[in-house]
Amino acid sequence: LLIYYNGEYVPKSKATTSVYDHGFLYGDGVFEGIRAYNGRVFKLREHVDRLYDSATAIALKIPMTKEEMEEAILETLRRNNLRDAYIRPIVSRGNGDLGLDPRKCAKPNIFIISQEWGAMYGDLYETGLTGVTVAVRRNAADALSPNIKSLNYLNNILAKIEANEKGGDEAIFFDSNGYLSEGSGDNIFIIKNGKVYTPPTVNNLRGITRATAIELLEEMGIKVHVENLGMFDLYTADEIFVTGTAAEAAPLVKVDGRAIGTGKPGPVTKKMVEAFKRVTQSTGTP
Ligand code: PLP
């Protein structure tokens, strides 16, 4: 397996960074998660745009153009002969010293890791995931914005640990104001009385799958209401589904041990899962 590392394609064993990399020392860097289906990269430009926005938000200048980044991503797949893959571009602040000061880091380190990847949740797309609400909070807009896909994912790791301990497939975050936020690696949609709701992206990552889901629902004539939601909305939902690059669109049928609606994936969710499969199989950058 070849990994892009600062302009070269090197074997896995050579793709190692310094202990002085501020990405390692401080989580000072940004990343993306991208999928390829059938040899085509899904929403490539959107992911590259978000990578650069994340970098801009932490005052990190990526020393290559977006076009070069896209080409490096595509070339990584070609060199590894991957058609159905998960791709992880990472840009760290680079090698500095033990101090915080980013001015000590002369240039960012850029990595692109890819691997073969199929459906993350297997049969659960049919039967549904279980979710658990977690005590750890997602930042709201006034703190470090969750729109930054940074290398500091400790919040999400803590949420995952909690979900694992409580025996759930996915963690469900609230923000410090008690508003529904997202999953540890996906956005959340609620269906109630035929209407679809999702929280505004002030307290969650502006998901590219979320945007695709909104488009697909609207094509089906289903309007999506972007509103602040709470625990009440979660527990009283008729259906819930989550969206993310890794998770795709997946039903969530239980929260904190309680059945959601009938306890089975509902009609809107089923349509969404199918529509998302169709769009990933039929679009993308070759
Ligand atoms: N929320 C978080 C915290 C994530 O890490 C991800 C994954 O990228 C998402 C949501 C879903 O975003 P996207 O659909 O762009 O993958």
| pLDDT, tens only, 229-243 | 999 999 999 999 999
The per-residue pLDDT of the chain, averaged, comes to 96
Phi and psi at residue 164, to the nearest 5°: -60, -45
d(CA 261, CA 168): 18
* 205, 214, 252: residue to mutate for ligand 1 pocket, most atoms within 8 A of CB: 205
Q: How far is the CA of 187 from the centre of ligand 1 (A)?
A: 6
The pLDDT, as a whole number, for residue 21 is: 98
Let me know: does 239 contact 265? Beta carbons within 8 Å.
Answer: yes
Q: Where does ligand 1 bind, in terms of residues with CB under 6 Å? A: 33, 156, 182, 185-187, 204-205, 207-210, 243-245
**Angle (nearest 5°) at CA 128 between 117 and 270:** 90
- 263 Rama class: left (phi>0) / alpha (psi -120 to 50) / beta: left
Q: Which tens digit of pLDDT belongs to each residue from 137-155?
A: 998 766 689 999 999 999 9
Work out the percent of the chain whose per-residue pLDDT is above 70: 99
Among candidate residues 12, 61, 104, 149, the one labeled active-site is 149
Q: Residue 254 is inside which H or E element, if any?
A: strand 248-255
The pLDDT, as a whole number, for residue 143 is: 65
The pLDDT, as a whole number, for residue 144 is: 84
Q: Which residues of 160-192 are buried (b: 16+ CB within 10 A; e: fewer)?
A: bebbeeeebbbbbbbbeeebbbbbbbbbbbbbb
Which atom of ligand 1 is nearest to 32's Cα? Answer: 8
pLDDT confidence tier of residue 272, bands split at 50, 70 and 90: very high
Q: Is 277 a catalytic residue?
A: no
d(CA 17, CA 160): 26
Q: How far is the CA of 188 from the centre of ligand 1 (A)?
A: 10
* Of the listed ranges 69-78, 87-96, 112-121, 134-143, the one predicted with least confidence: 134-143
Residue 92 CB-half CA count within 13 A:
24
Which atom of ligand 1 is nearest to 184's Cα? Answer: 3
Beta bridge partners of 141: none
Pairing mode, strands 170-175 and 129-138? parallel
